[in-house]
Amino acid sequence: MIELDNVRSGFSILSNFWDDQFQLARKQLDHKISEHDRDFKRAAQDHEREARALQAQVDSLSQENDDLRDCIRGLENRLSAGSLNVARTMNFLNRHGTRVDGNWPRLKALLEHAKDSKIPPSGWKTQILVNAIDDFGAQFGPYTFEDEGSPDDGDSKEDDRSGNRDDGKNKPLDISHDSSSPQQTPKKPKASGKSRSQGPVQLRPSAYTPNDHDALDATKRPLRTVTQVRESLEGLPVVWSKQRSDLQQVMLSGLDYQDALDLVSGDNEVHTRITSRALTEMLVRMMYWGKLDQTPWTKYVPTWYFKSAEALIESTDEISERWPKLKKVRLEDEAEIQMALYEDISSEDDDERDADFQDSSPSGKSQSGSGRRATPPRGAKHKRDSESG
């Protein structure tokens, strides 16, 4: 009986233990299902916003295209109709020994109709007689109509131009990149077994603490355009097209270069300043090449963006573009070098212009005339620091 009681007690303990494990596993499964449902809904909402933004872009580009077509059509009509300058023609007919007498307004009106390719009123009956005083006895028969050129020639050219435009209109519109984008993504090569030796795809950062903050709404315009950002970089040792994608997106969101660089390179939330489409493309590149840990802000990106990137990686056999290291430029060092470079030169020039200046060099000439600097810029900086210390 004691053994039976022990067996029953052990069975009860094991049964309770596995019941608890089952309930725990079920809760974990329910939690995972809930997370997947949430991620799916958020991804669907984000996709809907992205679709609306792209459709708005398509509508805007289509309207611009139609406006340009109307403008081109109007310019072509003006070009074809404005080839005859009536005032210049009438002035020419009254110069150089030529004179138009009689009802010259009728002639001018006929030229106006010819310029506009209009038929004169049916009630007009006009006869133009040309007298050549220097060849008064010349006799000619009725005027013989000359070849004006086939009207189909002009129509065919216009059709060719419009046909080319129509072909372009019928082609699918490439809206994968914004018009303000600095450069187009090069065509990606096909993946092969030896193309990548980085191992498996990195699905998440090592230290992953995601939040539920969405990426930048694609329907909203960026605070600054590419042109404005490029203008803000004038005078800095920075080239816009050479900057990493996340740094470019942050600068477009309104930050200047130094603030954007500090934000991207530090342990900060950045994805809220990047559109979901651009964010997904960046994640694909970082995950493919295992660079998530080298980009600190990825630890805060919600899970649904990573899942979208996973789906893109699994659905293509193309090699993703490499994710480069962030190039940091210390603008303070650059400014110090320039200051040290010009400070010594300006002080020497001031001494030479001084009325009491006496040349103490052995050759009797100013040292500035040698064209060489005795102290390099960075050495001059350290020299000033030691003296001030």
pLDDT for position 91: 85
Residue bearing the bigger pLDDT, 140 or 349:
140
3-state secondary structure (DSSP) of residue 219: coil
Smallest CA-to-CA distance from 287 within 212, 206, 216 is with: 206
Poorest-confidence range of 35-49, 137-151, 217-231? 137-151
Distance separating alpha carbons of residues 320 and 282, to the nearest angstrom: 10
3-state secondary structure (DSSP) of residue 313: helix
Distance separating alpha carbons of residues 290 and 199, to the nearest angstrom: 8
Poorest-confidence range of 199-208, 259-268, 366-375? 366-375
Give every CB contact of residue 377 below 8 A, 6+ residues apart in sequence.
336, 337, 338, 340, 341
Q: Which amino acid is at 159?
A: D
**Confidence category of residue 372, pLDDT binned at 50, 70, 90:** very low
**For 165-191, how does the pLDDT look when each residue is reduced to its tens digit (9 = 90+)?**
445 444 444 444 444 444 444 445 444
**Confidence category of residue 199, pLDDT binned at 50, 70, 90:** low
Residues facing 374 on adjacent strands: none
3-state secondary structure (DSSP) of residue 190: strand
Tallying the residues shown for the chain, one arrives at 389
Task: Say yes or no to pLDDT of 131 above 70.
Answer: yes
Contact 283, 309 (CB under 8 A): yes
pLDDT for position 75: 82
Residue bearing the bigger pLDDT, 164 or 289:
289
**For 224-233, how does the pLDDT look when each residue is reduced to its tens digit (9 = 90+)?**
999 999 999 9
